[in-house]
Amino acid sequence: MYVSLLALVLSAELSFEKAQNRCQGAELDACLALARFYAAPGGPHQDDAKAANLFQNLCAKHDPEACFEYGVLSLEGRGAAKDPAKAVQLWDKSCSRGSRKGCTALGNAYLEGQGGKQRLEEAEKLLSDACAREWVPACLRLSRYLISEAEPKARDTTRGVWLLSQACLAGDVPSCVKACDARLTGNGVARVEAEALKDCQRACDAKALHGCWGLALLHLHADLPELSPKKAVALLSSSCKAAEPRSCIALGELAEVGGAGVAKSAAAAKDRFKFAHLRLESLCGKTAPAECLLDAELAAQGRARDEDAPATRKLLSERCSPGAVAGCFGLGVAKARGHGGAVDMAGALEAFKLGCAGGSVRACRAAGQALLAGKGGAADPQEATRLLTLACDGWDALGCAALAEASGGKKTPEGKALRQKACRHGYGPACR
C-alpha cells in the first residue's frame, strides 16, 4: 500500500539533473523532487540513503509531503532503520501540516495497529476527513474497512458504498463501477434508484462498460420518469458490441421472450449467449473469478457450449456455501437439469434457497417456482409467494410473471397488476 502512496509522479519539466542543480541552490521544491527520484524503487537514480536524508531535512523544515514520504521509508526500512512507531510519528506531523496522504497513512496505521495499538475511532475520522477533501485513497481505504474488515457488528456497508460514491465523484472510475454494482444488486445496501443512476451514469460516461450495463438495467427496471426501455436496449446493444458480456446476456434474455421492444428470436438469443460465452471464456482465462462463474452459469443453463460439465458443476458447488453464495443459482440449475451429474431436485431447491438467503433474486424466483410445483420437497404456496415477491421486487421479470400466475393471472386485479410489472421488467408474454 505504502509504495503506491509514495508520490513518484514528478513534474515533466523537472529532470533529475535540474532537480540536482536547483536543490543545491536551496530550492525546497527541487529538493523534494530530487528525493523522489532517489526514492523511486527500481529507478535509474535510486539511492534510499540519499532519499531518506533529503526527506528528513525537508520534514525538519515543516514540509508535510517530505514527512509523509520519510515515514514510508521508515516503515519499510529503506535508507533508515525500520521503525513503524517513527513512521506513525512522521505521518502525524505530515497530517497536522495538511497532507491528505499523511492523514491517510496515519489513518491506515491506526486501523492496522502499526507502530502501536489500534485507534479505530481516530482512524475513521482521519480517513473520513481526507476523503471529504477528495482524496480517493482515503475513501477506498475506509470503504474497504467498513464493508469487509471491521468486526461484524461494526461493519457499515451503506456508508462503505457511499464512500465509493465519493471516490467516484473525485474522479475514480473503478469506484463508480463498484458503487453502481452495489446499489444495483442491493448487496448489503438498500437499492436507491436515484443514487444508483448517478453512479452508473458516471461510470458509463467514463466508458466503463460495466457501468453502461448497470445504467441499462436502471432504464429497463427502475421507476424513474426519465428512464425508458428503448434507451436500455440501446445501451445494452452498444456495450454488447464492445464485448461487455453481461449486456449480451441481458439482450439474449430479452430475445428469448420478446421483451422491452426486442423481437422474440431463438436464433438471436443463441447468438448473444454465444458471444457472451466467448468473451467470458477469454476473461476467465485471465483469472477473473466472477467471469468464470458467470460462464459456468451460462453452461449450466444450456446457453453455452460446455466441454466439461462435471467441472462446471464442481466450480459452482465450490462457490455455494453459507459464506459465499455466488454460485448457488447456477448450481441449482445444474442439479435441476442434470448438468454435469445426476438430476437432484432436492439439492437444487437447497441451493436456490441458500442463494436467495444470500441476496440472489434469481435464486429466490427459482426456489419459489420449485415450492409452487412441489419439486425437490413438499409444495409450500405461502413460502413460494414470499420468495417470488422478493424476486419480483428485485426486478426479476420471470419472478413477477410466476407470482402473477400464482395470484390468478388475468382473472384477478392483483394478477393483472403483476403481469404489467413483469411486462415492464422485460417479460414479453406478460405484455399480451
Q: Digits of tens for pLDDT over the chain (432 positions)?
A: 443 333 333 444 578 999 989 898 778 899 999 999 999 999 999 999 999 999 999 999 999 999 999 999 999 999 989 999 999 999 999 999 999 999 999 999 999 999 889 999 999 999 999 999 999 999 999 999 999 899 989 999 999 999 999 999 999 999 999 999 888 876 667 778 889 999 999 999 999 999 999 999 999 999 888 889 999 999 999 999 999 999 999 999 999 999 999 999 999 999 999 999 999 999 987 667 889 999 999 999 999 999 999 999 999 999 999 878 999 999 999 999 999 999 999 999 999 999 999 889 999 999 999 999 999 999 999 999 999 999 999 899 999 999 999 999 999 999 999 999 999 999 999 998
And the C-alpha cell for 56?
528528513
Q: What are phi and psi of 125, to 5 degrees?
A: -65, -45
| Closest of 425, 367, 369 to residue 393, by C-alpha | 425
The CA R_g of the chain, rounded to the nearest whole Å, is: 27
At 10 the pLDDT is 41
Contacting residues for 424 by C-beta, under 8 A, at least 6 apart: 221, 229
Length of the chain: 432
Q: What is the pLDDT of residue 4?
A: 36
Q: Which amino acid, one-letter code, is at 224? A: L
Per DSSP, the three-state class of 60 is helix
CB 162 within 8 A of CB 190: no
CA distance to 61, 129, 246, per residue, from 124 (Å): 29, 8, 36
pLDDT at 8: 38
Q: What is the pLDDT of residue 192?
A: 82
Cβ-count burial of 144 within 10 angstroms (0-12 exposed, 13-18 middle, 19+ buried)?
middle
Start-to-end C-alpha separation, the chain: 56
Going 406 to 410 to 413 to 416, the CA torsion angle's sign is: positive
Q: Count Cβ neighbours within 10 Å for each residue of 234-244 and write b for 16 or more, e otherwise.
A: ebbeebbeeeb
**Whole-prediction pTM value?**
0.83
Provide CB contacts within 8 A for 21, sequence distance 6+.
30
Domain boundaries, the chain: 1-118, 243-307
Alpha carbon distance 52, 18 (integer Å): 20
CA atoms within 13 A on the CB side of 290: 4
Separation between Cα atoms, residue 333 and residue 399, nearest integer Å:
15
Domain 1-118 has CATH 1.25.40.10: yes
